[in-house]
Structure 1
Amino acid sequence: MRHRTALLSTVLAVAAATLALPGPASAVEPGFAVAVTEAPATFTAGEQARTVTVVASSELNRCQKVRWSLILQVDGPDLDEIEVARVEDGRDFPVRVENGGADTARITDVRLDPGQLCRGRTVTARYQIAFDDDAAAGEVVFQAQAFNARQTLLQESTASSRIAGREDEAEPTLSPSPEPSPSESSAEPEESADDQPAPQPEESDDDLASVPAAGSSGTPSLLGPGLIVGGVLVFVGVGLLLRLRMRNRDAEPGPAPTGFYPAA
């Protein structure tokens, strides 16, 4: 398990246990400025620590020492799910932790920052912050405060970041559709191609135009009856010609009488 500093369970350097923590400040000293210059837009639960950087500057001609205090206010995760380490020159810097309620904690330097706050010279505080694997999604607000050696508030600055839980980062996966059981397959026989109704041809405007309207009919054709009547007339005519010819044959006279008769 990697080394970490839990907010409510571990405190770096308890040598200054009697050190009074800065109380709520109602005013700031003129001529000083504090800014949160580095803070991630989103922390992801279970991932490595991210850096929060605070810088103090001064317009005064005199130099002085600074003590840093960082107030954390969370909405979502519990305080004991936050891991905080104050870092100075790549090493852990001793801090004290004060619980300000169910969702607020103050982290204050045990000793003064090694730097000098002067005109044209800044003092920087860096914090490594991470959230446990099971931390809930939500938001965290950082309120950074710079105090002098007499614990007078010089200036403060505020920033906020989003907290993303593990479930927020996971991409949704599509669950495969369940396959039908053998009983369901036997209960529902497949529909064969013969059982399916034949597709009906669509009627176009041309097809509808070629169909005569109800109650209307076309002109009847005379070719068939004319052929029949013509055939009957031909048959009757042939028969009449044959009869006339037979009758003429029956009516033919014998040899024509001459003008002479044999003598009796």
Structure 2
Amino acid sequence: MPASQVVISPSTPADARDEAVWERVWQHQPSVSKDQALLDREANGPRWRLIVDRLESTFGTVRGLKTIELGCGRGDLSVLLARRGADVTLLDQSDSALAQARSRFDRLGLDARFERGNLLGALDPWRGRFDVVLSVGVVEHFRRTDRTRALAAHHKVLRSDGLAVVSVPHARCIPYRWWKLYLELRGWWPYGLEIPYTKRELQARARAAGFEAIETHALSFRQSLADHWCKRLFGRRPTWADERSILDGMMGLVLVMFGWR
């Protein structure tokens, strides 16, 4: 059994991410087979390949890097980092999310540290401690200046010359925007406030948060078509879902930003 542990640290109430919303989201736990399929898809997808490339070009190797995933949920990226020998920490404000993440790491025989906190709260216990900070699907759940504050939280936990990896939904992705609107109109949207980013806004807010060098990529247009429409209309995910498209840069599903401190 891995030496994972949950550390409860002081956190302030979230004012942009409704805690009740996320407790409801994380009450559902996928089956082991579905969970493994989700991990495999991430591991074989363009986002993870790009992240590994930037980590290796920045640090030479992933092994031994001290990483923290903010708003970790079940910790997809942290699992993949731990498999490559990183020293991983996961932080979330949801007790249910942390419980799922710990259960997953224990099942996979991976070591990790789990901490409770929120991005707009006091992050002093983690200030300047990490080589790499990551978040997936987190900072779009804030509005106005809190969007910059959420990115500044990434900057705060990094060591000098550290790297932030931030993945958010892309505002220019038409299949995603129509899918989200459809669910909202039907009353089925489960994730509360979600405001996707343009490249321009993400880069501007990252600069305001203190990042000195910034690189942004749009990825996975075909994944958006496959997951948001084809799978629901035809009952299966097309084999071309994870292939690159000439439309990625214009309207890919996700933006991945790398910010160097």
TM-score range, shorter chain: under 0.3
Higher helix share: 2
TM-score (norm 2): 0.23
TM-score (norm 1): 0.23
Higher strand share: 1
